[in-house]
Structure 1
Amino acid sequence: MARASAADGAGPTGSLARRLLAVALVFITVALVVAGVAIGFILHRFVRGQIDGRLDAQIVAIRSGLEQGPDGPRLSRDFDAPPFDREGSGWAWQVRRGGTLLRSASLGREALPVPAAPRPDEGSDRPQPADATDAHGRGLVLRVLTLPAEDGAAPTTIAASAPAAALRGPLREALTTLALALAVLGLCLVGGVLAQVRLGLAPLQRLRADLADVRAGRRERVPVAQPAEIRPLVAELNGLLDQNAANLARARTHVSNLAHGLKTPLATLTLALADPGRDADGTLRGLVGSMDRQVRHHLRRARAAALEGTARGRIGLASPIQDLAATLGRLHAAKGVRVRTEIAEGLTVSCEAQDLDEMLGNLMDNACQWCRGEVRVSAAMQDGAVAIGVEDDGMGLDPTAATSVLRRGQRLDETVPGNGFGLSITLELAELYGGGLTLDRSDLGGLRATLVLPG
């Protein structure tokens, strides 16, 4: 069901950060392009307005100095001030009335290619814009003023020109500077978006770390000090964790009650039927063994399910080992057993306290029973897990015996009290936590039991 639900909602997949960045980059790019085009248009109008203003001023000056001479129109003074005095510069003016042509020195023997300008509105004497190309193929910006005919004379056309480079050059420089400024602005905006996304999603990263701590057993609940947008989610998660913890507690209680209710009677039956006189053909022992295997199998599955999830706790090793060492030292005081512990402070395992006590109690009690007088308990990190060594100075076991003693109900010495289930129970519990139990020779001369648990 969960897999189907995930498939149904597969639409909004992918990285949230990448989606936010992609949307921001699209909007930033569109905004910068629109801004660049708008500013470029404004700059073009501004530069063109400056050139048109200069040409209009020249036309107005020429118009004020234009008078009628005996042979046609003439100018009352020289109007070839720079840059209209440099031949080929593109800055030029000319006056045409009928067949008479007055022009600036910059034109030499050429004439401005003045197109037919539209008639100005009635009562308007403003020059009109026009564009043309000179004899050398260079673009020209023109302003043309057409004066109506007076006293039977032909209309007068006054034109002034500027090279198109005078428009394109400043505009190119301004647009280059604008492009650089917009690029820097874009980089700053992208950097700001990156910082905003990182800061905005940082609470989600912290929430993920908090959930990992809960899963690993370092926390019991997710901290409630969260941003307002995440707080409802955290409340739901904590509610789910509390519910799972309550369910786990109930499950563990039921499993523990069932284990205590069945293990002892079955162990008693096994020991009672060990007498051949009570079960000559071994039928009852076989049935009891089958019952025991079935019960342990289902208890193991129930306990494994209870141990899964987020409610597994973490517990320090130093305190429970020292408590067990003190207790066992008193129990075996008549034998003179001395239990030494070598546990680093702060070393923890991911395990329930009662299971840890049961596993360590079985191993340390066996060591105290079989030792000559010394038991050593040590713990250290090993490949990301914690290896707990329980050693004694007894006779030890050969490899064959070390393998067989881990089987349920197997006892190597019937004179020693017990039912032979301690090591097998310890192994089963360790495997439920993803660990294990191995037996080998200790440098004290006896047995070394190494219990591995997740750290």
Structure 2
Amino acid sequence: MVRRPSSLTLRLIVGAGLWTVFALIVVGVVLVFLFRQTVERSFDARLDVLLESLIVSAEFDRNQGVYLSGPMAEPRFEQPYSGWYWQITPRQGQVLISRSLWDRELRQNLAIPVPQPHHYYTMGPDDQEVRVVERDIIFPDAESSVRFAVAAVTTENKLEVTRFVRAIVIALGLMGLGLIGAVIVQVRYGLRPLRTLQHELGRVRSGEVDRLEGRYPAEISPVVGELNKLVEHNSEVLARARTHVGNLAHALKTPLSVLMNDSASEATPLAISIRRQLEVMRRLVDHYLVRARTAAAGQVIGTRTPVQPAVHSLKSTLEKIHAGRGLAISVTGGERLNFRGERQDFDEMLGNLMDNACKWAAHQVRVSIDKQDFELVFLVEDDGPGISDEQIETVFSRGQRLDEAIPGSGLGLSIVRDISGLYGGAVTLGRSDLGGLKATLVLPAAADAS
């Protein structure tokens, strides 16, 4: 099965090219046919003149029969096998031939009368194709008609047609190349608004602009308008989703808090069990509300977050929280880089990783930011105790904590993995050069700030 070209540009160029080639071939065939007809008519006119000269030069005598009163004006009639011949064939009597025929005669069908000049092709001496014009003439004193014929080889005609065909092929070939080149230019110029639209859509998706701007042709303007409405609708859907998620969070957390407070005053086994299950429920509510909000945000077009201001804001916050521990938090890289997503989700992911590093670090937390192709790579390292390979999956489990003494819900790394996955990114853990844990977060990059 032949696959059709998937490119609109290629389809237009191929389609126009095929029609151009077909049209030029048809034009070439018609021109060659007309030229051949013209050459043939011109050749026939020349033969007609020579036939008239032959008839005018002929005389008839009852005793002598038909004879020529003088030589023909065309010298090639006197050269043997020159390609130009004449022949006079009476119904009765001797056939007269030109010297160029030597000892041959032209093939004629005397059974069919030819009162008017008749042209046709036949084989002449040396098996050459010749063009013949013949006519029957009746002299006043003759008892029957006399057939006059003039013939000439068609080699010159064929050479002339061949030269014309070669010139036509070259001329139409150059014209075809020029037309195809013009089609390519026209198609690329005509489709330029689509390339502009593609570029502008990329800017909207990367967050550089929030709607499509610019002037477009009348055929594309309705599409641009619908796309702008789609972007606006997408933003409205996100806003409504966030509102509903916030309302749900408030509706769920309030009853949970009431139950926690009511059970806190009791020390019975049942109260302790209730408090544990309520804590698990609160963690799960937080976890799935974050996922729900992020799933909505991840589908929004045009979201874009500058990296450096967000990271430095997180650093400043964490330095205040852990001010009493004397931690040194360093940030390198991130200039003019942008995350293709929501600021709130970015703070959730990187903030969890940086907060986790600060909780376990002894003296130092290091954050490194780099861009590789279309992805942002964040390295968050600390000089704490680190974890073993067997513990990595445990810390990614929902609500699983390695040390209950460290504050937190135990959902941080699980939330980071879920949110980054929704954005097409990933988070991995390993051993840092500082001696502690190294968390690598990969996220999609947006266009750099100009």
TM-score band by shorter chain is 0.7 to 0.9
Which of 71, 74, 80 is 1:81 aligned to? 74
- Quickly say closer, same or farther: Cα 1:93–1:274, change in 2 above 3 A: farther
Which of 397, 403, 415 is 1:412 aligned to? 403
Q: Could you say which residue in structure 2 is the equivalent of 1:169?
A: 159
Q: Could you say which residue in structure 1 is the equivalent of 2:97?
A: 103
Aligned mates of 2:363, 2:258 — CA distance in 1: 31
Is 1:142–1:162's contact at 8 Å kept on the other side of the alignment? yes
Per the TM alignment, residue 263 of structure 1 is displaced from its structure 2 partner at its CA by: 5.0
Aligned mates of 1:440, 1:130 — CA distance in 2: 97
Q: Could you say which residue in structure 2 is the equivalent of 1:344?
A: 334
Q: Could you say which residue in structure 2 is the equivalent of 1:141?
A: 131
Asked if 1:33 is matched to 2:28, the reply is: no
Aligned mates of 1:131, 1:374 — CA distance in 2: 106
Q: Which has the higher contact order (CA 8 A, sep 6+)?
A: 2
Aligned mates of 2:218, 2:125 — CA distance in 1: 74
Per the TM alignment, residue 365 of structure 1 is displaced from its structure 2 partner at its CA by: 3.7
Which of 64, 83, 106 is 1:112 aligned to? 106
CA RMSD of aligned residues (A): 3.7
Is 2:20–2:179's contact at 8 Å kept on the other side of the alignment? yes
Q: Could you say which residue in structure 1 is the equivalent of 2:41?
A: 49
Counterparts of 1:47-446 in structure 2 under 5 Å?
47-68=39-60, 71-79=64-72, 81-97=74-90, 98-116=92-110, 119-120=114-115, 127-134=117-124, 136-215=126-205, 217=207, 219-259=209-249, 262=252, 266=256, 277-280=267-270, 283-285=273-275, 287-288=277-278, 291-292=281-282, 295=285, 299=289, 302-311=292-301, 313-381=303-371, 385-397=375-387, 404-406=394-396, 407-408=398-399, 410=401, 412=403, 414=405, 418-446=408-436
Q: Could you say which residue in structure 1 is the equivalent of 2:448?
A: none
Is 1:95–1:157's contact at 8 Å kept on the other side of the alignment? yes
Is 2:209–2:302's contact at 8 Å kept on the other side of the alignment? no
Aligned mates of 1:140, 1:13 — CA distance in 2: 52
2:101 partner amino acid: L
Per the TM alignment, residue 85 of structure 1 is displaced from its structure 2 partner at its CA by: 1.6
Residue deviations 1:376-396 (CA, integer Å, cap 9, x gap): 222123685323233334454
Residue deviations 1:271-309 (CA, integer Å, cap 9, x gap): 986898154475424653564476457535533540342
SS in 1 for 2:319: helix
Is 1:224–1:235's contact at 8 Å kept on the other side of the alignment? no
- Quickly say closer, same or farther: Cα 1:447–1:13, change in 2 above 3 A: closer
Aligned mates of 1:329, 1:148 — CA distance in 2: 129
Aligned mates of 2:224, 2:285 — CA distance in 1: 40
- Quickly say closer, same or farther: Cα 1:74–1:234, change in 2 above 3 A: same
Per the TM alignment, residue 318 of structure 1 is displaced from its structure 2 partner at its CA by: 1.2
Show structure 1 runs of 5+ residues with no match. Answer: 1-11, 122-126
Is 2:307–2:337's contact at 8 Å kept on the other side of the alignment? yes
1:410 partner amino acid: R
Aligned mates of 1:343, 1:282 — CA distance in 2: 48
Per the TM alignment, residue 217 of structure 1 is displaced from its structure 2 partner at its CA by: 4.7
1:44 partner amino acid: R
Aligned mates of 1:136, 1:86 — CA distance in 2: 14
Is 2:394–2:400's contact at 8 Å kept on the other side of the alignment? no
- Quickly say closer, same or farther: Cα 1:369–1:288, change in 2 above 3 A: closer
State the percentage of identical aligned residues. 38
Q: Could you say which residue in structure 1 is the equivalent of 2:12?
A: 20
Aligned mates of 2:253, 2:432 — CA distance in 1: 31
Is 1:224–1:234's contact at 8 Å kept on the other side of the alignment? no
Aligned mates of 1:436, 1:351 — CA distance in 2: 14
Show structure 2 runs of 5+ residues with no match. Answer: 446-450
- Quickly say closer, same or farther: Cα 1:334–1:272, change in 2 above 3 A: farther
